[in-house]
Amino acid sequence: MCSTAVLIPRKLWNKTALLKMGLIASQPLVQVETNEELIELWLANKKSRHTRRAYQLDIDYFLGFIENKPLPFGSIVGEGR
């Protein structure tokens, strides 16, 4: 089964419309609290270890650029592991 995560900034939430489009569930299937949890969830869906390694390098560079500030995610909808 394929797992998909959708990032929706909190300021763009219109829950009724998002529910109708099937973009969100009535309850989040995965709850993340930190950048690390979000990144781990996202990378876990990549099959190739080369892809995971390349993405991790890009992520590390980006987090250094933003001085490791929390990412502004509102809700993560996807299947847990």
Inside any domain, residue 17: yes
Inside any domain, residue 80: no
Inside any domain, residue 26: yes
Query: How many structural domains does the chain have?
Result: 1
Inside any domain, residue 41: yes
**DSSP, residue by residue, 16-69:** HHHHHTTSS-SS-SS---SHHHHHHHHHHT---HHHHHHHHHHHHHHHHHTTTP
Inside any domain, residue 75: no
Q: How far apart are CA 36 and CA 29, in angstroms?
A: 18
pLDDT computed for residue 60 by the predictor: 93
Inside any domain, residue 76: no
Inside any domain, residue 78: no
Q: How far apart are CA 76 and CA 78, in angstroms?
A: 6
Residue numbers of the domain that contains 65: 6-70
Inside any domain, residue 10: yes
Overall average pLDDT of the 6-17 stretch:
66
Residue 80, pLDDT > 50, answer: no
Q: Helices (H), strands (E): how many in the chain? A: 3, 2
**pLDDT by residue (tens digit) across 33-62?**
788 888 888 898 888 999 999 999 999 999
